[in-house]
Structure 1
Amino acid sequence: MNIVVLGGGYAGLLVTKKLERRLPETATLELVDDTGEHLVQHELHRAVRNPSYVNDIAIPLRELVDRATVREASVTGLDRDARTVSLDGGETLDYEYCVVALGAETAYYGIPGVEKHATPLKRLEHAATVRKEFEAVIDRYGHADSTTAKDSPETGTVVVGGAGLSGVQVAGELATMARERDAADAIDVVLLEQFDHVAPNFPENFQEATRAALEGLDIDVRTGTTVTSADETTIDLESGEAIEYDQFVWTGGIRGNQAMGGDRPEVRADLRLDDHTFALGDAARIVDADGEPVPASASAAIRAADTAAQNVVASAEAGDTEFVDLQQWNWETPGWLISVGDDAVAQLGPQVFTGPVANAMKSAVGVTYLAEHGSLRRALGLLREDMGNSADFGSFLKAHL
C-alpha cells in the first residue's frame, strides 16, 4: 500500500504524523513538499520585524517525521483517474491513496498590476523582501540625515492590501517597526479592505477590537475600499481616488495551488475528493458535517488532520468493498487569536481579550504547537523572543507551562 501526502504545512505534516501511527508496517508513506521545511505560517509576519524568528518557525520536515519518506519536489499536476502525481523534473509518483494538503497561493483576482507590483506574504523569502523594502522606506524618509530626504515628500506611504488575519498582522509589524526606528511620524501605513470590516470573516466584537488595536498604532484603516489597478507608484481605487505609495504588500485573498489548476475543490465532511483522494487545509473548500463552510485557517487545518488520517486508513482497510464507514468532521473552534504589533487580540467564546492576557494566549499557542509538532528547543526560543527578557520569560514559564 502506497500513501502519498502532498504538502508539508499544518495539514500535510499532521496528517503524515497521524498516518505514521495508524498505517500497518507494510504500508509506505511519502510526504512531498517543495521546500522540505515545515513553516509555522501563523508566525511568518513576525519574521518581517525580527528575522531571527526564521530559526524557530522553519523546521526541516525530516526532523518532524519518523517513518515517512520526505521528498523535496514541487507538485506540478495530479491525475486522480490514473492515481499519479507529477513532479517538477518530469518524475511521476503512483499512489493508492493521496492526501492533498498543498495549501493555497495568493489571489490577485486579475486586478491589473497588483501581482507585478505588490509583494505577497506566503513564504520566508516574501517576509525578507517585505522587510528589505520597508527598511528602504525608513532609510528614505525616517532619518534627518538621509541623502535623499531633502528631495523627498515629507512622509512615505506603505500600503497593505487585504485586512484578513495576514494583512492585519503584517500592517501591525510594519507600524511597530517604524516606531522602533523612530520613523513613525515619517511613514504612513495604510491598510485597505474591500469589505466593511477588518477581519471580515470573524465575529463583530473581534473585528472591533482588532480595528481598535490597528488604529492604536496610527494605522490608516480604510474599509469598504476596492483596489482596481496598480502601477509602480500608484494604486487606483474604485472610488476614483489614487494612492501614491512607496511599498505595496498584498494579502488580499487565496486561490488554489497551481498543481490543482488554481482551484480549491469543495469537499464534504469526510474530506474525500474521490475514493482514493482526500483534501484538507487551504487546498480545499470544506463544508463540515453541519453544512457550514470552514474558514481557511491554521486552526481548521490542524483540527481536520485527524479525520483525514482516520478516513485514509478506513478506506485502505476496506479496499474495494462498496461500503466504507468514514468519519464526518465537524468544525469547532475554541476562539481566535491575532497579533497586532506588540499587542494581540484573542477571542474565547463570546469574550474578547487584548493586552497582556491576549499576548500570553498567543505565546502559549505558539509554544504548544512547536513543542508538540516541532521541537521544545524551537518552542522555547520563540517564547523567549516573545517575552523580551529573562525575568518576564521565567515568570511566564512558571505561570503557563
Structure 2
Amino acid sequence: MDVLVLGGGYAGLTVTRKLERRLPASATLTLVDDTGSHLVQHELHRAVRDPDYVDEISVPLAEILDRAALREGEVTGVDRESRTVSLADGDTLDYDYCVVALGAETAFYDVPGVEAHATPLKRLEHAAEIRREFEAVVDEFGHEDPVANTERTGTVVVGGAGLSGVQVAGELAVMAREREVAESVEIVLLEQEETVAPGFPEQFQTATRERLDAQNVDVRTGATVTAADEATITVADGAAIDYDQFVWTGGIRGNGAMGGERPQVRGDLRLDERTFALGDAVRIVDADGEPVPASASAAVRAAETAARNVVAAATADGGFVDLAQWHWESPGWLISVGDDAVAQIGPTVLTGSTANALKSAVGITYLAEHGSLRHALGVLRKEMDDTGEFGELLKRL
C-alpha cells in the first residue's frame, strides 16, 4: 500500500509525522515537496528585516522525518481517477491513498499590472527580494537631494491588510526607523475592506490598527486596487498612488497542481474515497457547517483528523470506514506588528511584551514538537535581547 502526502508545509508535515506512527508497517509513506525544506511561514516576514532568520525558519525535511521517504519535486497534477501524481520532472507517482496539502499561491485577481509589478511574500526568495527592493528605496530617498536641495520622499505600498500584509508592513516600518529614514520613506498599507485583519474579531482588529498607527504605517482601508503600472497604483475611487516599491499580500488561490482552485471539503477532509485534503489547498467547512479560515493554526489542527481518516480507510479492507469529523475551534489569534504584537485568547486581547512572548512560545513549541529543537532555540535566541537572558535561560534548562 502506497500513501503519498503532497506538500511539506504545516498541514503536510504534521499529517506525515502522525502517519509515520500509525500506518501499518507494510505501508510505504512518501512526502513530496518541491523544496525539500519545511518553511515556518508565519515567521517569514521576519526574514525581510533579518536575513539570519532564514536559517531558523527553513528546516530540512530530512532532519525531521523518521519513517517517511522524502521525494523532492514539484507536483504539477493530481489525477484522482487514475490515482497518480505528476511531477515537473516528468515522473509519475502512483498511490493507494493521498493527502493533498500543497498550500496556496498568491492571488492577483487578474487586476491589471499587479502580478507584473508587485512582489508577493510566499517563499524565502520573496522575502529576500522585498528586502533588496526596500534597500534600494532607502538608498534613493533616504538622504537629501543635493540638486533639488530638499529631502525627497519614497513610498512603499503593501497591498492587503490580512495577517501577512500587516506583518510585512510592520517590519518595513521598523526597518525605516532603524535606518533613520522614517521621515523620507513612507509605508502605506492598502485594504479593500473597511478594517485591517478583516474576518477576525473586532477587538483584534482594533488592537492591530492601533499598533500599525503607532508604527507610523499609513493605513488606508476601503481602498480597492484596480490597476498598477511600474510607477503608479490606481484604486477604485480613481485616486493614483505613486510608489517606489510594491508588495502584494492581497489573497490566495489554489495551487497550480489543483488548477488554481481550492475545492471544498467537509469535516471528514475527504475529496474522494482515497484522497484527502487540508490546509490552504482547500476550503474546509467543518462538521458544524462553519467555514474554516486559511491559517497555520487550522492546518495543524486538522492534521489529526486527516491522519486518522487515512489510517481508517487504509485498514478497512474494503469494509465500512468510520471517518472522524473535524470540529474547528480557534485557540486564538497572534500577529506581529514590527517589534510589537497582538494576541487574542478568548475575549482577552494582549499586546506588547506579553503578546510577543506568547507568539515566540507558539513558534518555538511548534519547532520543538516537530523534531527541530536546534531551530527552536535559534528562534528563541533571536527573540530575546542582548542582556544575557538567553544564557541565563540555558543555565536553567
TM-score normalised according to structure 1 size: 0.96
Select 1:362's aligned residue among 356, 359, 373: 359
Matched, 1:250 2:248: yes
| 232-241 or 364-373: bigger deviation | 364-373
User: Hey, what does 1:295 align to over in structure 2?
Assistant: 293
The equivalent residue for 1:55 is 55
Letter in 2 for 1:344: A
The CA distance in 2 between the partners of 1:370 and 1:397, in whole Å, is 17
Report whether the alignment pairs 1:43 with 2:69: no
1:385 is the counterpart of 2:395: no
SS at match of 1:202: coil
Q: Which amino acid aligns with 1:204?
A: E
Measured in 1, the distance between the counterparts of 2:148 and 2:331 equals: 52
- C-alpha separation between the residues in 1 aligned to 2:239 and 2:110? 20
Residues 343/154 of structure 1: CA separation in 2 closer, same or farther (3 Å cut) = same
Query: Structure 1 residues 274 and 131 mapped into 2: Cα distance closer, same or farther (>3 Å)?
Result: same
For 2:149 and 2:224, locate their aligned partners in 1 and report how far apart those are by CA, in whole Å: 31
Find 1:324's aligned residue among 321, 324, 330: 321
The 1:395/1:212 distance shift into structure 2, 3 A limit, reads: farther
Letter in 2 for 1:248: F
Counterpart selection for 1:190 from 188, 191, 209: 188
User: What residue number does 1:170 align with?
Assistant: 168
Q: Deviations over 1:348-373 (max 9, x none)?
A: 11010001110110111111111111
In the alignment, structure 1 residue 109 sits paired with structure 2 residue 106 = no
Q: Residue 143 of structure 2 contacts residue 151 of structure 2 at CA under 8 Å; is this kept in 1?
A: no
Equivalent residue for 1:347? 344
Aligned to 1:3: 3
Q: Secondary structure at the match of 1:361?
A: helix
The C-alpha deviation readout for 1:58-112, integer Å capped at 9, x for no partner, is 0111111011110110000010000000001211000000000000000000100
SS at match of 1:136: helix
| Structure 1 contact 34–75 (Cα < 8 Å) conserved | yes
CA distance in 2, matches of 1:151, 1:58: 45
Q: 169-178 or 360-369: which moved more?
A: 360-369
Take 2:387 and 2:374, find their aligned partners in 1: how far apart are those partners?
Answer: 16
Structure 1 residues 217 and 396, CA, compared in 2 at 3 Å: closer, same or farther? farther
The one-letter amino acid of 1:72's match is E
Superposed displacement of residue 320, structure 1:
2.2
In the TM superposition, 1:14-29 aligns within 5 A as 14-29=14-29
What is the identity, as a one-letter code, of the residue corresponding to 1:349?
A: G
Write the deviation string for residues 37-72 of structure 1: whole angstroms up to 9, x where unpaired: 000000000000000000000011111101111011
- Unmatched 5+ stretches in structure 2: none
Q: Is the 8 A contact 2:56 2:375 kept in 1?
A: yes
Counterpart pick for 2:332 among 332, 335, 357: 335
Q: Does residue 145 of structure 2 align to residue 140 of structure 1?
A: no
Question: Structure 2 length as normaliser, TM-score?
Answer: 0.97
Q: Which digits, 9 at most, give the CA deviation of each residue in 1:200-233, with x for residues without a partner?
A: 0100000000000001011000111100000000
The size of the alignment, in residue pairs, is 397
How far apart are residue 152 of structure 1 and its match? 8.5
Give SS of 1:120's match: coil
Q: Is the 8 A contact 1:156 1:245 kept in 2?
A: yes
1:220 matched to which residue of 2? Answer: 218
Cα shift at 1:334: 1.6
**How far apart, in 2, do the equivalents of 1:56 and 1:120 lie?**
21
Would you say the 8 A contact 1:141–1:152 is kept in 2? no
In the alignment, what sits opposite 1:181?
179
Secondary structure of 1:389's partner?
coil
CA positional deviation for 1:393:
3.0
CA RMSD of aligned residues (A): 1.6
Distance change >3 Å, CA 150–CA 56, structure 1 → 2: farther
Opposite residue 25 of structure 2, the aligned amino acid is: E
Task: Give, in angstroms, the shift of residue 390 of structure 1.
Answer: 4.3
- Aligned residue identity for 1:122: K
Q: Residues 91, 301 of structure 1: CA spacing in aligned structure 2 closer, same or farther, 3 A cutoff?
A: same
Are residues 27 and 220 of structure 1, via their aligned partners in 2, closer, same or farther at CA, if it must alter by over 3 Å? same
The residue correspondences of 1:19-98 to structure 2 (distance < 5 A) are 19-98=19-98
**Does the residue aligned with 1:172 lie in a helix, a strand or coil?**
helix
Cα deviation, residue 397, structure 1: 6.9
| CA distance 1:76–1:227, change in 2 (3 Å) | same
CA distance in 2, matches of 1:260, 1:151: 55
The answer to whether the 8 A contact 1:59-1:374 is kept is no
> Secondary structure of 1:328's match?
coil
Q: What CA distance in whole angstroms lies between the structure 2 residues aligned with 1:15 and 1:376?
A: 19
Unaligned 5+ residue runs, structure 1?
Answer: none
Pick aligned residue for 1:265 from 263, 269, 272? 263
CA deviation string 1:235-254 (max 9, x = no partner): 00101100000000000000
